[in-house]
Amino acid sequence: MRGRTNKTGSNCALQRIAARWRFRKTRTGAVGQLALTASVGRHTGGGPGRFLSISTSDRSLTAYSTRRSIMTKKSLLLGLSLVVAAGLGYTAGSEKAGTITAAQELEWREMRPGSPLKIATLWGDRSTGEYAMLLKMPAGFVSPIHAHTGDYHAVSVTGTWRHSFEGGEARELPPGSYVFQPGMGMHGDACVGPEDCIQLIHQYVKFDFIPKQ
């Protein structure tokens, strides 16, 4: 009876260990995170009976927990960074006021005293750095070959604008046409036809005019 009772107790213990193993395996989501060794042998006391030796290795569990903790901290830091960045962006953006300027409200002035060219600054300051402006050329105007230190982007707004690269292509451009002019590249401009020409010009650097020598 004693041997049967011990055998039954051992089986129950094995079942409990198996249940714990399944529970741990489900929690960790990985096979082999907990190592169990079960063996049946004689009791050291000398009498008939069985004993259960259980060896556990929780090194992998510790490593898993550490990695999980690090990943959680990184996720929290990333989330916090995104929230802060969004908040700063919203704050900076909320301080800016929108601007609407009708065509008749533009302030035109001579590019230089006595120049037939007129400009209306849209944003920035062309004497110090990045800017955008509208440039108006009277019908029949022809500029000498020249260059600028920085690149510029331009869009034809009204009239027929003729732009030419020295030694290269020359085209007559209707409204809506686009030109990219590289810095230090010699080029020419003219307003052909009966209507004044207006271009939208944008530069990331200050404006200058370098005539061909």
Residue-level pLDDT at 77: 54
| Distance of alpha carbon 169 from alpha carbon 50, whole angstroms | 99
Q: Which residues pair with 124 in a beta bridge?
A: 131
The residue type of 208 is D
SS3 content of the chain, % helix, strand, coil (to 5): 30, 30, 35
Q: Tell me which of 77 and 177 has the higher pLDDT.
A: 177
Kindly report whether the global pTM for this prediction surpasses the value 0.85: no
Residue-level pLDDT at 69: 58
Residue ranges per structural domain of the chain: 1-60, 104-211
pLDDT digits (tens, 9 = 90+) for 127-171: 999 999 999 999 999 999 999 999 999 999 999 999 999 999 999
Q: Does 91 score more than 90 pLDDT?
A: no
If we measure between CA atoms, which residue out of 112, 149, 118, 113 comes closest to residue 133?
118
| Distance of alpha carbon 46 from alpha carbon 145, whole angstroms | 112
Strands 118-124, 109-110: pairing is antiparallel
pLDDT digits (tens, 9 = 90+) for 53-78: 334 444 544 554 556 556 555 555 55
| Distance of alpha carbon 59 from alpha carbon 82, whole angstroms | 35
The residue type of 161 is W
The mean pLDDT value of the chain amounts to 75
Q: How many CB atoms lie within 10 A of CB 114?
A: 6
Q: Does 92 score more than 80 pLDDT?
A: no
Please tell me the CATH code under which domain 104-211 is placed.
2.60.120.10
| Distance of alpha carbon 48 from alpha carbon 127, whole angstroms | 103
